[in-house]
Chains A and B, each alone.
Chain A
Amino acid sequence: MRAMSTRLKIGWAVITVFVLVYALFPVTSIIATSFKLPSQLNLGTFLPKTWTWSNYEEIFAGSGKELFLPALRNSIGISLIATAIAVVLATLCAYAIARLDFPGKRLILTTALGVSIFPVISIVTPLFNLWRNIGLYDTWLGLIIPYLSLTLPISIWTLTAFFRQIPWELEQAAQVDGATSWQAFRKAIVPLAAPGVFTTALIAFFIAWNDFVYGISLTSTSAARPVPAALAFFTGASQFEEPTGMISAAAVVVTIPVVILVLLFQRQIVSGLTQGAVKG
């Protein structure tokens, strides 16, 4: 590739800055808001006049504590469990789809795709009723099950693509060397699929973590309410004060782990998504 001319470099730099500002402005705005005193929220300045940790104190130890901490616990627990179940099931499913030929193979993949594009909002109401009737309303299990419908399809598709790339000869060689099917899978395939499984787990975790609709419709107390839903319930110090500061602080706390994970594993995530796209 020819080295870029200076004009071209400047042009690219301008565009990059523009895109960065456009994308990150809302995020920095929220971060800035989280450091503002509640009384100064409507001053109209971007950066806080007085930098304060009070919002963070509130949500962790103050008035917001009963809302935020349980919500955080719920989110982490539910997302992790949903991810774990989805990854285990998807691994077995993807291995079967990539290796075996059975009737209904295509049906499973298309159904998974169909489920993932189905609008969540349309099934929330009947699900609400059903859960109330069988007692799953406002429980962890009541959220884990719908979350599986969000995480399983993408996990199956991504892992199928990963498994398809592992040459079949490896298992065959292991079988000829004396391994049972399970040993061949465990010793020859799993070490090679580990990066794929890890990436899939990350993607599934993000999807479960970010869910809002299920979270707010299928819970009523802090027994099972996840963070995105809990944010809607924050109240200020008095009925005239907006809890914007606390909400911003909560949003920042909730986003930080996700951002760190993505930055650490960005290469794996991108390759995981594109591999799924190319091989199909």
Chain B
Amino acid sequence: MSVVGDLFREFFLLSFVAFGGATALLPEMHRVVVDHHHWLDDTTFTHLYAIAQAAPGPNVLVVTLIGWEIAGLAGALAATLAMCLPMSVLIYLLIDRWQGFSGKRWQQAVSLGVAPLAVGLVFSGAMLIATSAGLSPAGWILVGAVVLANLRFRELHPLWLIAAGAILGIGGFA
């Protein structure tokens, strides 16, 4: 099977566990793309995540970048489509019946139950990016400063923190 076909299949499967969107999926994408298939190395994976952070648009576009690096335009489109299509179809079919499910005890239980797992996934993704990036001690201080700035000053647009990261990075502080 071609790489494009493999990409489509892998991201199609990933979309079914993407609770919390593409952000929570980072560790699993890394496992599949870097550890399992060896399509990308650690550094490239981290760079693609950084590019997606610095670009406008939904978080899911990191998938597009991964697809592009592995198999060009066909890979980019296949990975994006595979990631978006299954749940889009499902939601298209379910939305009219959603009013009936909404507020039911099982529905609340799943929503409550998935939250702590999603926190763990996002945290794992952050640690993965930090370790794959090969940060210097100054880089870790930058991570801490961004955490504090983002939690402390909610009105501060995240883009400013990204820009600060880029400038400090160029200055050798990461």
A and B together in one complex: no
